[in-house]
Amino acid sequence: MRNADRARRLGFLALFLFGLIAVHLVWMQVVKGSYYRDLSEKNRLRVVYLEGARGRILDRKGNALALNRLSFNCSAVSWVAEKKISESCRMIAPILGEDAWTLEKRFFNTKPSRFNTVLLGEDIGLEKAMAIEERLESLPGFMIETRPQRIYPLAEASAHLLGFIGPIRDDEEDLVNINGYKWADWVGRDGVEKFYENYLRGRSGGIQAEVNSRGRFVRALGVERPRFGKDLELTIDAQLQKMAQGLLDKRRGAVAVMDLKTGGLLSMNSAPSFDPNLFATARGRKDVGRYLVDPASPMVNRLIRGRYPPGSIFKIVTALAGLQEKKANPGRTFHCSGITTIGGKEFHCWNLQGHGAQALTQALAHSCNVYFYSLALLTGPDALSRKAVEFGFAKLTGIDLPGEKEGTVPSRDWKRKTLRAGWYDGDTANFAIGQGYLQVTPLQALSMVATVAREGQILKPHVAHKISGMVVAPVSQERVHLSSSDLNAVMEGLEAVIHSTSGTGRLARVEGLSIAGKTGTAQAGQGKTHAWFVGYAPADDPQIAMVVFLEHGGRGGVSAATLASSIFQWLKKAEYL
């Protein structure tokens, strides 16, 4: 009897347990069936994102300015890895050379990406990637991802030219919804990278993979192959770009050299600069904040965004306006005693001892202020404004870089509307020597001297030459009206600036090379003066034009002319001249 009771109780217990199992199975397979099916699919299926490599950026000789290399990242699927994240971090910490607690903290403090992955180790190298790959059986949710890493071999020397790349921001839904980007893509943020984004960008793809319970790859269920971006060949000479940046060193300023056959820039430099490589990684982007708070503004491209008084380089325009208006001829002289009175105020020449009687060639060579005061008062501010606008000082040059700024060309109407004041003879005098309200960019100054060298043809400055082997360089048909006699007179004066014994630009000389140019020293408030040099060479058959601008750089005939001489020497040795 006792055995029969015991058997009956065991039967009831077994029946009860089987009932519980049955209820649980019904609950899991019927009531919660869809939930567990989804969870199973998530455990079984995984999407591996494959970023499309950006096109390379090359210089005119095929040297790489921006390219890609394969990098390896250690990531973890957040909701899979979370259960054993402490053990996993302890296992990979020695491999990554980091503290396990730091890795675990990073896991919980980092917002998962759009693919629910958390980046734990960026660009870890092949050896570390293989070491982690061998341990993935014991690292649930972990994976090794590859991506093309953007690198800029010239670093700071090419930053303002090339710009940098960055991840898509949360407020840029249109890029994803309309333009076909994926949330994990990176896009051009400045410079060539931004302007030619539609050509350089790669098209991303991915793999839908089946994985086992350990997260190991079993098979690929579907593949969307990534597509590479188009290669872009620039007009830039990488060696010149690097050399010119080195000459600027820690100074603030800009340098550009133009090929006068096409308008293509051989170099395009701004200083101080920044390292675009830092922007190309999530780790590096944590260190770029210092650029944003630096009072020297290293991320401002001074060549196209800096606006400054041009000083005496503007006397080229004043001379041409005066000659065109027939208010003077090349042989007419004005006497410089070092000072003149205009509207009851004294206006000084930079040479307080005076230059004496000056004709046009001498006035340009000596940069005589009094000569140009006198010429401008005869010519009038309206003619000066018209000629300045013709040379492009009030508009964009149209260079193929983002963020270019316009200059300011004052006029009677401009002053009345902007400052609610009338125009005075003193304004005309300041205008004549590139001071007062006149503001130009260094690129506009380069365009001006290039237009003189090309006898009135306006070249559109550009940096792109070919996209995937197809020429894209623009051709400009614009011209500035200049008579041959007026132009020859000014060009003779510009040659005298460099080659006469008392020319202000004689420090720009290079043995065996004829150069024409103009120096400028521009007042800059209470600070040190800005230094300018614009010029072209050879003087009798111009091939190259140049601008050198040094912010608070002192005298143009000293610092800017000396720097220009070094560039002319390099160009001659490299057989551009």
Residue closest to 153 by CA, chosen among 263, 277, 16: 277
pLDDT tens profile 374-411? 999 999 999 999 999 999 999 999 999 999 999 999 99
Contact partners, residue 310, CB within 8 Å, separation at least 6: 434, 438, 440, 445, 520, 522, 532
% residues pLDDT > 90 (the chain): 68
On whether the CB atoms of residues 187 and 201 are closer than 8 A, the answer is: yes
Across the range 62-69, mean pLDDT stands at 96
Would 560 be classed as within a structural domain?
Answer: yes
pLDDT value for 39: 43
Residue 542's alpha-carbon distances to 369, 414, 480, 495, in angstroms, are: 27, 36, 17, 12
pLDDT value for 36: 45
pLDDT value for 12: 64
On whether the CB atoms of residues 272 and 552 are closer than 8 A, the answer is: no
On whether the CB atoms of residues 57 and 200 are closer than 8 A, the answer is: yes
Q: Assess whether pLDDT exceeds 60 at residue 38.
A: no
**One domain for residues 484 and 561:** yes
Would 34 be classed as within a structural domain?
Answer: no
DSSP-assigned letters across all residues of 208-273: EEEE-TT--EEEEEEEE--BPPPPEEES--HHHHHHHHHHHTTS-EEEEEEETTT-BEEEEEEES-
CATH number of the domain encompassing residue 336: 3.40.710.10
Would 39 be classed as within a structural domain?
Answer: no
Of residues 146 and 67, more confidently modeled: 67
**One domain for residues 158 and 262:** no
Q: Give the model's confidence band at 162: pLDDT under 50 very low, under 70 low, under 90 confident, else very high.
A: very high
pLDDT value for 250: 86
Q: Assess whether pLDDT exceeds 60 at residue 214.
A: no
pLDDT value for 213: 54
Would 294 be classed as within a structural domain?
Answer: no
- If one counts the domains in the chain, the total is 2
Q: Assess whether pLDDT exceeds 80 at residue 218.
A: no
Would 283 be classed as within a structural domain?
Answer: no
Q: Assess whether pLDDT exceeds 60 at residue 31.
A: no
CATH number of the domain encompassing residue 111: 3.90.1310.10
Angle at 295 between CA 293 and CA 299, to 5 degrees: 70
Whole-structure pTM value: 0.87
**One domain for residues 214 and 260:** no
% residues pLDDT > 70 (the chain): 88
**One domain for residues 313 and 182:** no
For residue 120, the enclosing domain spans 46-234
**One domain for residues 503 and 368:** yes
pLDDT value for 24: 56
pLDDT value for 212: 59
Would 23 be classed as within a structural domain?
Answer: no
- Asked which of 201, 234, 267 is the last residue of a domain, the reply is 234
Would 289 be classed as within a structural domain?
Answer: no
pLDDT value for 201: 93
**One domain for residues 150 and 244:** no
pLDDT tens profile 194-203? 999 999 998 8
pLDDT value for 111: 77
pLDDT value for 94: 94
pLDDT value for 202: 87
pLDDT tens profile 410-458? 999 999 999 999 999 999 999 999 999 999 999 999 999 999 999 999 9
Across the range 335-347, mean pLDDT stands at 94
Structure tokens at 109: 């403090």
Residue type, 7: A
**One domain for residues 418 and 502:** yes
pLDDT value for 217: 54
**One domain for residues 191 and 174:** yes
**One domain for residues 223 and 314:** no
Would 290 be classed as within a structural domain?
Answer: no
What is the Cα–Cα distance from 284 to 288, expressed in whole angstroms?
7
pLDDT value for 184: 76
Q: Assess whether pLDDT exceeds 70 at residue 37.
A: no
**One domain for residues 224 and 331:** no
Q: Give the model's confidence band at 21: pLDDT under 50 very low, under 70 low, under 90 confident, else very high.
A: low
pLDDT tens profile 247-273? 999 899 999 999 999 999 999 999 999
Contact partners, residue 431, CB within 8 Å, separation at least 6: 376, 381, 384, 410, 437, 438
Q: Give the model's confidence band at 185: pLDDT under 50 very low, under 70 low, under 90 confident, else very high.
A: confident
pLDDT value for 225: 76
Rama region for 66: left / alpha / beta (φ>0; ψ in -120 to 50; rest): beta
Of residues 49 and 81, more confidently modeled: 81
Partners of residue 356 on adjacent β-strands? 336
Residue closest to 192 by CA, chosen among 216, 165, 210, 169: 165
Q: Assess whether pLDDT exceeds 80 at residue 42.
A: no
- DSSP class of residue 28 equals I
Residue 427's alpha-carbon distances to 343, 348, 438, 520, 525, in angstroms, are: 10, 14, 10, 19, 16
Q: Give the model's confidence band at 310: pLDDT under 50 very low, under 70 low, under 90 confident, else very high.
A: very high
Q: Give the model's confidence band at 316: pLDDT under 50 very low, under 70 low, under 90 confident, else very high.
A: very high
**One domain for residues 118 and 243:** no
pLDDT value for 34: 58
**One domain for residues 454 and 346:** yes
Q: Assess whether pLDDT exceeds 90 at residue 170.
A: no
pLDDT tens profile 558-573? 999 999 999 999 999 9
Across the range 120-133, mean pLDDT stands at 91
Name the average pLDDT for the chain. Answer: 89
